[in-house]
Amino acid sequence: MAIFLTCTVLSTLKLQQYVVPAIGLIVGLHFYPMAWVFKRRLDYYAATWTCLVALVGISLTFRQASQESVIVAVGLGTALATVTYGLNMMREGYKLSRRN
């Protein structure tokens, strides 16, 4: 819902160039509650990394960097966090399956 509302507001205000970094920030922020609930340090790292990448994207957009470079930077940064997170979850699942 937050992503939908953010995209709607930014589009209404004719600030579409901020959509991708804003989505990255929302994705990063959603890791913080998960870190607290599941008591996983990796979630804090993923959240912080993704939020920093998104804030860099917002800063680059504000400084009028090309939209393509902002999309690439934010996309690669969030993908790195997501892949790292997914690989860790696979490793943890494998460890759990080996215990049983």
pLDDT of residue 72: 97
pLDDT of residue 100: 65
pLDDT of residue 89: 92
Domain count, the chain: 1
Find the mean pLDDT for residues 44-73.
96
Q: Which domain holds residue 10?
A: 2-99
Is 18:58 a contact under the CB 8 Å cutoff?
yes
State the pTM of this model: 0.88
Q: How confident is the model at residue 99 (pLDDT cuts 50, 70, 90)?
A: confident
Distance CA(65)–CA(70), nearest Å, equals 7
Cβ contacts of residue 80 below 8 Å, gap of 6+? 49
| DSSP letter for each residue of 41-79 | HHHHHHHHHHHHHHHHHHHHHHTT--HHHHHHHHHHHHH
> What average pLDDT does the structure give for the chain?
95
Find the mean pLDDT for residues 23-37.
94
